[in-house]
Structures are given as structure tokens and as C-alpha cells.
Structure 1
Amino acid sequence: MLEDKKTKVKITFLIILVGVSSMLAAVVTDHWAVLSPRVERLNTTCEAAHFGLWRLCKKSIFIMEEDPQGKGCGPISLPGEGHYMLRLTAVKFHISEYNISAAAIAIFSLAFMTLGSLCLLGAFGKGRDYLLRPAGMFFAFAGLCTVISVEVMRQSVKRMIDSDETIWIEYYYSWSFACACAAFILLFLSGISLLVISMPHMPRNPWETCMDAEPEPAD
């Protein structure tokens, strides 16, 4: 592998590590979205929730003052202020068609990331530049699976908000959702970058053929 190509691959690999870390954080955490009911009056208890791919956590919050940000029941985490008193009342697995689909697609993304990492590590070996192309494809597929999982979770939130069987009418996406979006961008662009880097050396002059191009030096 040429030295300049190896440098580009190393930089891309560092970006991929950030994307993989972001995706792992999104998969194992449950702060994709925060749901809140309408608060009719003060000095009463309302039930907010936050959820991820695997579980939904519900909290009973005693409302003493109106939320200045207008988010209704919340915040979902302890703000360190004296406006709310939070008490965890229920933690359960939330199983629905949307959540199961999003979780399954996220697992496919993790599988593609694993295969891409193996190919990329193998590409640093002598005479194994050809592994850059499958590595780029795997990471691009991982990014696509990630964005599909994000969209499925968006539909899950919309379905819960629109359902008459739930009390939640307000929502906002939280940091786990942001991690998944960042993972999509980093993984997909890194995969495309690896595919571009893996392209064969092009002739520098119009009259120079591929056979006349300088061969890559052996490592």
C-alpha cells in the first residue's frame, strides 16, 4: 500500500472508530426520545417516559411549578433545581412492531461494522489492498442500516403520540438519537471514502495507459 494511501486509510479508520462508538452508545442506551403528557394543573403527579431500542422507562414527576420551556411533564432527568421531585416508578421492556424492527436493523448495522472492521484491519497487511473495497461497502451498508433504524424509531414515536391508548402528547428526541444520526453520517461517508481510496491508480497524462502507470512499491 502506498504511503499516501495508507495515511488516508488511517485517518478514515479514526473517523470510523468515532462512528462505531456513537452507534454502540445509541444501541445500548434508552434516550432516543422523551415522551410527556399534558400537564393540566400544578401540585399533581404526571408520568413521563424515555425509551430506546430495548426498553421504555417511565417516571412519575410531581409538578410544583410550570415548566418555563413548555415541555409539559419533565424534565426526564434530575435537573438539580427545586422545581421537580422525581421518582422512578416503572422500568419495563417496551415491545412493539416498530421497536423490534428498529432493534433488528440496528443489529444488522453492528454486524456490517464488525465485518468492515475485520476487512479494514486486514487491508493493512502486505498485498491486501483489495480488502479496502469490501470494507467500504460494509461500512456504507452499516450507515444505511443505521438511518433506516432511525427512521423506524421516528415512526414508533409518531405512532405512540398519535395513539389513543397512550397519555403522551409531547415529545422530543434526545442524545441517543443524536448519536445514531452522527453514526450514520460518519459510517456512510467513511465507507464511500474507502471505496474511493481503493480505486486503482489513474494515469497522470492522457497518453499514459494503465499498463504504463507506475506500479505500487512493495511494502
Structure 2
Amino acid sequence: MHKAVFRIKSDSPYAGSTSQNNTRIELWCNDHCDLLHIAGDEQTDVVEHVSMEVGVREQIETNGERTIITDACLKEYGDDYIEAHLAANDCLLLPPLRYERGAKIVRVLALDPANLSMLYSDISAEHEVTVESKQELTSVRSETPVLAASTFLPTLSDRQREVFLAAFEQGYYEIPRGTTTSEIAEIVGGGRRTVEHHLRRAEEKLANAFAEYL
């Protein structure tokens, strides 16, 4: 399998919003709307630009980055031309699309490297294209998730967090267990029954948060 990364100069709303700054947009298209992950120093200006051009339905801000659901799909703005070329040249798009410095970054997979060359030829006939990289792959790794872990981790109290981390660090969850709740109580201070209560509450919250992803 072979991979190529193309930088395509673009005047689409997303590319345009990054043309004068170092903010990066990653896009997952859902036909009726887009899911965007925005990172960089001037996110407010980018979000305002996207809001005016495409519309913003909802946004979440976490750890200095934003996840946005748009009102419409960028395909409505004629930014889907790459799909026809992909199909014609037997190539696959590796999401997400990325927009930065006024360009669209497209990562493409193909079984035959000649298909990547033909794809480049087709796109460059209509757009200004630069080949960022080209390589043979032995595997395809998953990308950074759209949502940071902190967006779905449960909120533990300070005491629950302290007790749970102490239990983990002392080997409570190893097989066989490396410590007991009595020993954990001595480390964090407090009675064994109270420590066990905090530990069970932390475990319950973590189990409830992760069960839906299993």
C-alpha cells in the first residue's frame, strides 16, 4: 500500500479561514454537516469565519482546542471535487481532511503508486498542488481522536482521584494485587472503610464512562 500527501491551494471557507494565521482545521464530513477539530492561536477568528460562511450549530472547547458541528456540509460549497478524482484513479481518502495556511491537505492511499501519480495529474490540471510526501506503508495507524480524553472522562472528587491513583500506583489492580485497602488508607490517611467507599465511587464513575465505548 502506498500513501501520498497533497497540499492543494484552496479558496474554500475552511482554507480561507486559515490563510492569515497558523490555526489548523481537521474535517470529518457527514454529508449533512461537518465535524471540525480546530487547534491553533487564532481560533476565535477562524470560528467566526466558519460561522459566517457555513454556520456553527454547536461547539465544545477543551484544553485550548475546539470541536465544532457545522450547520451545513462543505460539499455544498463545491469542495468535493477530490472525490470524483479518487474514484477515477482507484484511490482512497484517509480522513480527516486538514486545512492550514490557506490550503487543503489531502492524504491518499493506493495499492499501486501509479494511481497516486495519475491522481496528482488530474488534480493539478485544475488546482495548484504540491506533493508533501509519498511513501510505501506496511500499516495504517489511526489518527488523533477528534475529542480529547478529557471530554469523556468522568469528574472525580479530589479525594476519589487521590485514592484511586494511590491504589493504581501501589499495584492494587495488578494480578495478584500488590497492596490492600488498609495499606492504601495508611498512604492517603483515613480509615479503611472510607477509603474503600471513595475507591468504589471512583471505579463506578470510570466504569459508567467507558462501558458505552466497549
- Bin for the TM-score computed over the shorter chain: under 0.3
TM-score (norm 1): 0.26
Q: Greater helix share, 1 or 2?
A: 1
Q: Greater strand share, 1 or 2?
A: 2
